[in-house]
Chains A and B, each alone.
Chain A
Amino acid sequence: MELSLFANWFLAGLQTLLLIALAPLLLGWIRACKAMLHNHSPASLWQPYRDLRKFFRKEVVVADGASWLFRATPYIVLGTMILSAGVVPLVATDLPTAAIADVIVLTSFFALARFFSALAAMDTGTAFGGMGASREMMLSALAEPAMLMAVFTLSMTANTTNLSSTIEYLLQHGLVLRPSFIFAALGLMMVAIAETGRIPIDNPSTHLELTMVHEAMILEYSGRHLGLIEWAHQIKLMVYGVLIANLFIPWGIATTLTPEALGIGVLAIIGKLMILGVVLAIYETTLAKLRLFRAPDYLSFAFLLSLLGMLSHVILEVG
């Protein structure tokens, strides 16, 4: 009994480490898909790892007058992202970490990281930092209700906000065509795109001052600090990807902790994330970046979709 408890915690830690370690690979895969769609020859899938190694080797330059907040923020951001990586069921559902926190805590982890990045961006007193922080806050204020509405739709179906229990509930019922899930999935995808700073809302591969949101906030960071923040950002993308993949297509995830089930779980999540990466690459290639003042329209559309999901749950699926 003692031993199995220990083994469960060990597996949970291993799952978290796997998510953190795979996060740069997902970004590399998305970039490779995009490059192929643009008719470029793609960079190696390991390029994000090389970038991170480069950042960690470089010297850290901190602006004069930057307070402790500026130095502490990269660690806080990465820490909250690692915690949220621990909460999300990647390979198996029946792990002790799942009981620690539910999806509302997950959202607040993201909010905490965002709060500190915005403070650190304003800490150095540059114009770009403040601008990026204010933009990020505007976008997140609109994105968060949409995300919560989408996950509440799931929670109302499964009668729990716990992610593992939700996935187990969905697996028990098999394939059910729920209209609410279609809307919630679309809403959550749009929120994920906005929150992880991808195209229509933010372009991850540019430093053009008029358009950047996330990059403007971290403009003052260098070396190790930048590496930590970049990594945290990749983990965030991965967490959203896993959330969408495992909540809406839960099949394949391990519900028991046997080696075979875990093996299938690993293969399943890798397959699902590869497909999601292709979808995201196609989406980003076909769309142009929106003007910042059009972003509220995009996010209110995401909110409308999530709201429709909730309404169709109440109207169509119960009673």
Chain B
Amino acid sequence: MNIANLSHYEQAIFVLSALVLYTSFSMLAQSRLFNLINIFAWQGTLLGITAALVAFISNQPHLYISALLTLVLKAWLIPWMLRKQVMRLKLQREIETLATPTLTSLAGVGLVIFSYYIALPIKSLSNSITRNTISESLAIVLLAMLLIITRRQAVSQVVGFMAIENGLFFAALVSTYGMPMIVELGIAFDVLVAAVLFGVFFFEMRSSIDSLDVDQMNRLHEVDKR
């Protein structure tokens, strides 16, 4: 399949999926919490537009609903909630020190190549136009996991968790043109509930260990007091 033989709409899907992958990389490199949440919102926006485009070229009207759901939830509501929590925790000026940013991005490139290799057999089974992006969606999931591994800040880890969900949604979108509507709605509300619960969890964590650095949870609070 040569990209030059596809229509411009289909080419636009590839461009958008590449941009989604790029947002994953810029999340890896971003050390400011606010910017991280903004990039996450951009990833949601791009995913929503991609879903609408896939709905358009594949004639699957139910995908418009998931596109709208993605735009509302992941591009607006969840980033807004996260931003509000960051403001209330007074973390908006916090800069996380990334130990080895270059090494992390190179590890990310390694993950992209790995997921390409893994997705090759899946690709050969599918004959949808978007089959080439399956490996990208897998890469987005793995990059989000890498984000969680490299961060110690609880809020960034939650952003990474949400980005995993973005990758899974993307995988479902491009491999089988979306999950059944009921599953998709269920996941969307699960993610929303998770965002609310994480907000409560941030405050709990803050009040018990006085920090959002998850490394401090390795120590036992009572033992250190003595």
A binds B: yes
Cβ–Cβ < 8 Å partners of A308 in chain B = 18, 21-22, 25, 109, 112
Residue contact B109 to A311, C-beta cutoff 8 Å: yes
Question: Is residue B105 within 8 Å, beta carbon to beta carbon, of the partner chain?
Answer: yes
Q: Mark B193-220, 1 if CB is under 8 A from A, else 0.
A: 0000000000000000000000000000
Closest Cβ–Cβ distance, residue B146 to chain A (whole Å): 14
Residue on A nearest B10 in the bound complex, by CB: A177
Residue contact B8 to A177, C-beta cutoff 8 Å: yes
Residue contact A177 to B113, C-beta cutoff 8 Å: no
Question: Is residue B14 within 8 Å, beta carbon to beta carbon, of the partner chain?
Answer: yes
Cβ–Cβ < 8 Å partners of A296 in chain B = 102
Closest Cβ–Cβ distance, residue A10 to chain B (whole Å): 35
Docked complex Cα distance between A301 and B109 (Å): 12
Q: A308-B22, A311-B112, A311-B113 are in contact. Are A301 and B29 (CB under 8 A)?
A: yes
Residue contact A179 to B17, C-beta cutoff 8 Å: yes
The size class of the interface chain B forms with chain A is 20 to 34
Residue contact A179 to B14, C-beta cutoff 8 Å: yes
Residue on A nearest B134 in the bound complex, by CB: A315
Docked complex Cα distance between A205 and B123 (Å): 53
Cβ–Cβ < 8 Å partners of A301 in chain B = 29
Residue contact B14 to A317, C-beta cutoff 8 Å: yes
Question: Is residue B99 within 8 Å, beta carbon to beta carbon, of the partner chain?
Answer: no
Residue contact B101 to A316, C-beta cutoff 8 Å: no
Docked complex Cα distance between A176 and B6 (Å): 9
Docked complex Cα distance between A173 and B3 (Å): 10
Q: A176-B11, A308-B22 are in contact. Are A315 and B109 (CB under 8 A)?
A: no
Cβ–Cβ < 8 Å partners of B25 in chain A = 304, 308
Cβ–Cβ < 8 Å partners of B11 in chain A = 176-178
Q: Mark B1-41, 1 if CB is under 8 A from A, else 0.
A: 11110001001101101110110010001000000000000
Docked complex Cα distance between A176 and B4 (Å): 6
Which of A183, A297, A315 is B116 in contact with, Cβ under 8 Å?
A: A315
Question: Is residue B50 within 8 Å, beta carbon to beta carbon, of the partner chain?
Answer: no
Q: A314-B116, A316-B136, A319-B132 are in contact. Are A304 and B15 (CB under 8 A)?
A: no
Question: Is residue A83 within 8 Å, beta carbon to beta carbon, of the partner chain?
Answer: no
Q: Mark A286-319, 1 if CB is under 8 A from B, else 0.
A: 0000000000110011001001100110111111
Residue contact B2 to A177, C-beta cutoff 8 Å: no
Q: A177-B12, A311-B113 are in contact. Are A318 and B2 (CB under 8 A)?
A: yes
Closest 4 CB pairs of A and B: A179-B18, A177-B11, A317-B3, A312-B18
Can you name 5 extra interface pairs (CB under 8 A) apart from A304-B105, A312-B18, A316-B132?
A: A176-B4, A182-B19, A308-B18, A315-B136, A318-B2
- B residues contacting A by CB (< 8 A) are 1-4, 8, 11-12, 14-15, 17-19, 21-22, 25, 29, 101-102, 105-106, 109, 112-113, 116, 123, 132-133, 135-136
Sample of 30 A–B contacts (CB below 8 Å): A176-B3, A177-B12, A177-B14, A177-B15, A178-B3, A178-B11, A178-B14, A179-B15, A179-B17, A182-B15, A182-B18, A296-B102, A300-B102, A304-B105, A304-B106, A308-B21, A308-B22, A308-B25, A311-B113, A312-B14, A312-B21, A315-B116, A315-B132, A316-B14, A316-B136, A317-B3, A317-B14, A318-B2, A319-B1, A319-B132
